[in-house]
A and B are shown apart, each in its own frame.
Chain A
Amino acid sequence: MAEAALYSQITETDGVAGVALETAARVLRRGALLHALLAGLMLIFALLASTRLVPSLYDLAQQLFLLSYGGASDAALAIVIIFSLVNISALLVIMVSVLAREIWALPGLLVLALANAAVLLVLGYTPALITVIVGAWALVRLLRAPNVLRVNPVMMRELRGRMRGARAFVVMSIYLALMSGFALLLYVIFSTASSLNASAATGQIGRVLFAGVVGIELLLIIFIAPSFTSGAITGERERQTYDLLRTTLLATPSFITGKLESSLGYVLLLLFAAIPLQSLAFLFGGVTETEVILAFLILTITAVTFGTFGIYFSATQPRTLAASVRTYGTIAAWAFIIPLVIGFIVNIIQAGVFGNANAPNAPGLEALLQYVNLLLTSTNPFATAIQTQRLLVEQQVIGLYSVTLASDGSTIPMISPWVVFATLYQAIAAILIVLTIRRTQQVDVNS
């Protein structure tokens, strides 16, 4: 089979262990495919149902895939789609970790299967069975080759180098100094301003401080994460160590994941280091733990996804400079320019159609525009963070909520943008990792 040939090429591991790894990876990939089919089916359901031709489809989906969910059936559909997308990404990432013979593949698989089992029990999310079965199957396969999983040598080497000497310390100091300085500045400005009109709520200063620190952190992370990864492969080429690695038995997936782990591990360290600074806001009140957790989640996912942008271009470009330019260009286009342009157009349409007194009764169009707006918000980490916090503070909404349409007074389910953002970014990261491995192997074969 062509597929079998592809896999033996990817795992690059010999003998019984290689076969076990390949089978486990293939099983996981099939699981991801099944979830993708399900998500696609749900999207078609949603489209058909929204045209109000077959309204019972919503209920059918809820009865089939989300047995014990008490909420609205349209919201249930959204939940099923999001769970499936999360499963796809998780299965793909674990598949790569199996191919790369990462030691964390086993616990990762276990956690994913258990989490799915829990969701199955609590919400009656039946597609969780796919992941549970696939996970158990892959686990059994992996246990047949217990000695092949190991700590990634590339990650070990990178971390040894990165954490040695003054450089790691200096980067972290500059990063923390920048943020502390910024926080101090915010505090000084805000406290002077509030002492002038003396009407500012106590909680407000905390909230401003928190938002300011998270904002500047996000900005720094967007620049730092890709800068670590965009030189990952090109750097090896430039130092002429790439050929050395290619003549060893190190498989491409191990190489790529090792690079990602080490650079993202360091970025994660930066994020953890800044948590105390974020928590300063607690002193002034007005900020809840939920906000801190959600902010950390958004920061982490931004770092991981933009990091994979970097490694993808590092695999496709011959030089670090070219890779960096393309990485930052793509990030700017994806997270800033394109959503701004489309958002502008959507807002013009919205204002033109629904802005005046004799607004037409077009609930379908209005709902569509609402969803497009949600999607656009979710492509940008800043917009996501702001909108999520606004919903949290003003409406106490963490996940699902409903919006009443101006056209006919009906409600449509909406979701806090961080959920869409997390799912979308996670999916992009998973796909980019798989693509990076493919591209690296192709380049090797063709050179």
Chain B
Amino acid sequence: MANMAELIIETRDLVKKFGNFTAVDHLSLEVPAGSIYGFVGPNGAGKTTTMRMLTTLTRPTSGQAWVNGYSVTEEPRAVRRAIGYMPDEFGVYDDMRVWEYLDFFAACYDIPEIERKKLIDDLLALVDLSHRRDDMVDKLSRGMKQRLSLARTLAHDPSVLILDEPASGLDPRARIEIRELLVELARMGKTIFFSTHILADVSEICSHIGIVEAGQIIAQGSMDDMRAQIQPHREITVTLRDQEAVETVKSLIGSVEGVVGVNEMEPRAGRYRLRIDYTGDDEGVAELNRTISGAGIAILGFAEETKDLESMFMRVTKGIVT
């Protein structure tokens, strides 16, 4: 189980008030090590403020937060060593070359000069900017700047990346590139905690999700758990050659335990489709498949539909707003 894993970011009743305005209201986060955690919520929900508290830039009004086991208020330097932070605004030093930008931040992390050259080459290769090594930073496209920013966060080999809206304002291609980079980094063992309001990003790459609204977490957990929570049964779409097959499958499956409903869908491109609502586990799904093919029926497609995240998001957040 994912929530049994070691937590690399944990907050308990985190509160941040600006005057009378409560930006973050008793927020408790649990980010397991090695996860890609999508921190989702509408604008102004307190995502950035939470991240600023986790990165030691803002002190919480009350509550506790730990990163990699270190308290953000008690041991800020240990926390800074453990995190790579990318704010939503790209900090531009307009008078620097790409390699100098990385060299400067590496030096700020006390990396000795002899190690820096190789480090910069490696980082640039990782984010695919080796060919722009000697260009000025402000000549880069937005997507490239974002990738350079990501390289900067990796300079001191942190265990957690805290990224504020890493894909905002990017064109589709650049967004996909960033997404692939994040997956690659997760594979290298980094925990990635990023905020976004683009649900497609989350459903593509996240292993965990936390939904925040008005400064409070309203749902969090692994994507699988969340899906199961939102979606009480699985939806399986079976594509068949003709109407006859449809009838046969209906009669075959209808009585199987766990099958809640079998509905015919509109034929598409001359293919007939059946939707099976099923509450069983993976083994049961395989058994369904075997039953159908065992009856000598040609199966053109057998797929479990994942219910899209948007409807899930709408369903969870609606309760709070109204």
Q: Chain A interface (Cβ within 8 Å of chain B)? A: 12, 14, 150, 153-154, 156-157, 160-162, 164-165, 239-250, 445-447
Bound: A160/B77 CA distance, A? 28
Report Cα–Cα, A153/B85, bound state, in Å: 19
Give chain A nearest CB distance to B95 CB in angstroms.
Answer: 3
Contact: A249 with B108, CB < 8 Å? Answer: yes
Tell me, yes or no, whether B96 is within 8 Å of chain A by CB: yes
Pair A243/B91 contact, Cβ less than 8 Å = yes
Q: B58 near A249 (CB under 8 angstroms)? A: no
Residues of A within 8 A of B100 (CB): 157, 160
Report chain A residues within 8 Å CB of B56.
246-247
Cα of A446 to Cα of B52 in the assembled complex, Å: 13
8 intermolecular pairs with C-beta atoms under 8 Å apart: A153-B108, A156-B104, A156-B107, A239-B91, A240-B90, A243-B87, A248-B109, A447-B58
In this assembly, does B125 line the interface, its C-beta being within 8 Å of a C-beta of chain A? no
Give bound CA distance, A150 to B109, whole Å.
12
Provide the B181-198 mask, 1 if CB < 8 A to any CB of A, else 0: 000000000000000000
A446–B110 Cα gap in the complex (Å)? 26
Query: Knowing that A246-B56, A446-B59 are A-B contacts, what are 20 other residue pairs whose CB atoms are under 8 Å apart, sorted by A's residue number?
Result: A150-B110, A153-B108, A160-B96, A161-B93, A161-B95, A239-B91, A243-B52, A243-B87, A244-B85, A247-B56, A247-B57, A247-B80, A248-B80, A248-B109, A249-B77, A249-B81, A249-B156, A445-B59, A447-B57, A447-B59
Closest Cβ of chain A to B70, distance in Å, is 12
- Given A153-B107, A153-B108, decide whether A247 and B92 contact each other with a Cβ distance below 8 A: no
Which residues of B87-121 have CB atoms within 8 Å of chain A's CB atoms? 87, 89-93, 95-96, 100, 104-105, 107-110
Any A CB within 8 A of the CB of B83: yes
- Residues of B in contact with A, size category: 20 to 34
Residue of A nearest to B76 (CB): A12
A-B contact number at CB 8 A: 72
Check A12–B95 contact: CB distance below 8 A: no
Across the A-B interface, the 3 shortest Cβ-Cβ residue pairs: A153-B107, A161-B95, A241-B91
Q: Are A248 and B87 neighbours in the complex by a CB distance under 8 Å?
A: no
Most buried by A among B83, B107, B110: B110
Contacts of B105 in A (CB 8 A): 244, 248
Of the listed residues A154, A157, A246, the one surrounded by the most CB atoms of chain B closer than 10 A to its CB is: A157
For the complex, what is the distance from the CA of A14 to the CA of B78, rounded to whole Å? 9
CB A1 to nearest CB in B, in angstroms, measures 18
What's the minimum C-beta distance from A16 to chain B, rounded to whole angstroms?
14
Chain B residues, Cβ within 8 Å of A246:
56-57
Verify if B50 is at the interface (C-beta below 8 Å from A). Answer: no
Name the CB-closest residue of A to B88.
A240
Interchain nearest-CB distance for B297 vs A (Å) = 60
Complex CA distance for A157 and B107, rounded to whole angstroms: 10
Which listed residue (A12, A165, A244, A445) contacts B87, Cβ 8 A?
Answer: A244
Contact yes or no, B104 A244, CB < 8 A: no
User: Considering only CB atoms, which chain B residue lies closest to A236 in the complex?
Assistant: B91
Nearest-neighbour CB distance to chain B for A39, whole angstroms, equals 37
Within 8 Å CB of B64, what residues of A?
none
Q: In whole angstroms, how far apart are the Cα atoms of A165 and B59 in the complex? A: 41
The one of B83, B89, B90, B110 in contact with A247, judged by C-beta atoms closer than 8 angstroms, is B83
Which residues of the partner chain B approach A245 to less than 8 Å between Cβ atoms? 108
Provide the bound-state CA to CA distance between A203 and B224, in Å: 92
Q: Any chain A CB within 8 A of the CB of B55?
A: yes
- B residues within 8 A CB of A164? 95
Residues of B near A154 (CB, < 8 A) are 108
CA distance A34 to B154 in the complex (A): 46
CB pair B110–A244 under 8 Å, yes or no, is no
Closest CB in chain B relative to A64 CB, distance in Å: 46
Interface centre among B90, B96, B108, by most chain A C-beta atoms within 10 angstroms, is: B108
Tell whether, in the assembled complex, residue B104 and residue A247 are in contact, meaning their CB atoms are under 8 Å apart: no
Alpha-carbon gap, A248 to B91, bound state (A): 14
B57 touches A239 (CB 8 A): no
Given contacts A248-B108, A248-B109, contact A243 B57 (CB under 8 A): yes
* CB atoms of A240 and B89 under 8 A apart: yes
State the Cβ distance, A72 to closest chain B Cβ, in Å. Answer: 54
Docked complex Cα distance between A248 and B108 (Å): 6
Residues on B with beta carbons closer than 8 Å to the beta carbon of A241: 91-93
B92/A239 in contact, CB under 8 A: yes
| Given A14-B77, A248-B80, residue A157 in contact with residue B55 (CB < 8 A) | no
Q: Check B109–A249 contact: CB distance below 8 A.
A: yes
A240 to B81, CA, bound (A): 21
Knowing A247-B83, A248-B80, the reply to whether A239 touches B107 (Cβ < 8 A) is no
Q: Which residues of the other chain, A, contact B58 by a CB distance below 8 angstroms?
A: 447
**Which residues of chain B are within 8 angstroms of A160 by Cβ–Cβ distance?**
95-96, 100
A241-B101 Cα distance, complex, nearest whole Å? 12
**Is B104's CB under 8 angstroms from A153's CB?**
yes
- Smallest beta-carbon distance B272→chain A, Å: 57
- The reply to whether A12 and B91 contact each other, CB–CB distance below 8 Å, is no
Minimum C-beta distance from B253 to chain A (A): 56
A245 to B55 CA separation, bound complex (whole angstroms): 12
CA distance A150 to B92 in the complex (A): 25
Residue of B nearest to A248 (CB): B108
What residues of chain A lie closer than 8 Å to B59, measured between beta carbons? 445-447
| A12 and B96 contact, Cβ closer than 8 Å, known pairs A240-B91, A243-B57 | no
Would you give the shortest CB distance from A250 to chain B, in whole angstroms?
4
The residue of chain A having its C-beta at the shortest distance from the C-beta of B78 within the complex is A14
Q: How far is A154 from B103 in the complex, measured between Cα atoms in Å? A: 11
By a CB distance below 8 angstroms, the chain B residues around A12 are 77
CA distance A241 to B149 in the complex (A): 12
Min CB–CB distance A87 → chain B (angstroms) = 32
- Chain B neighbourhood of A250, CB < 8 A: 108
A154 to B77 Cα, complex, angstroms: 19
Min CB distance A305 to B, Å, is 27
Neighbouring B residues of A446 by C-beta, 8 Å: 59
Across-interface contacts of B57 in A (CB, < 8 A): 243, 246-247, 447
The answer to whether A161 touches B96 (Cβ under 8 A) is: yes
Expressed in whole angstroms, the Cα–Cα distance for A241 and B93 within the complex equals 8
In the complex, how many angstroms separate the beta carbon of A423 from the nearest chain B beta carbon? 36
Complex: chain A residue closest to B162, CB-CB: A247
- Complex CA gap A160/B57 in Å reads 28
Q: State the CA gap A215–B144 with chains docked (Å).
A: 50
A249:B91 contact, CB within 8 angstroms: no
Q: State how many angstroms separate the Cβ of A153 from the closest Cβ of chain B.
A: 3
Query: Which A residue's beta carbon lies closest to that of B95?
Result: A161
Residue of B nearest to A160 (CB): B100
In whole angstroms, what is the CA distance A447 to B55 when docked? 13
Chain B residues near A242 (CB-CB < 8 A): 91
Residues of B within 8 A of A156 (CB): 104, 107
Instruction: Find the A residue at minimum CB distance from B91.
Output: A241
User: In the complex, what residue of chain A is closest to B110 when comparing beta carbons?
Assistant: A249
Interface residues of B in 22-80 (CB under 8 A from A): 52, 55-59, 77, 80
A160 to B95, CA, bound (A): 8
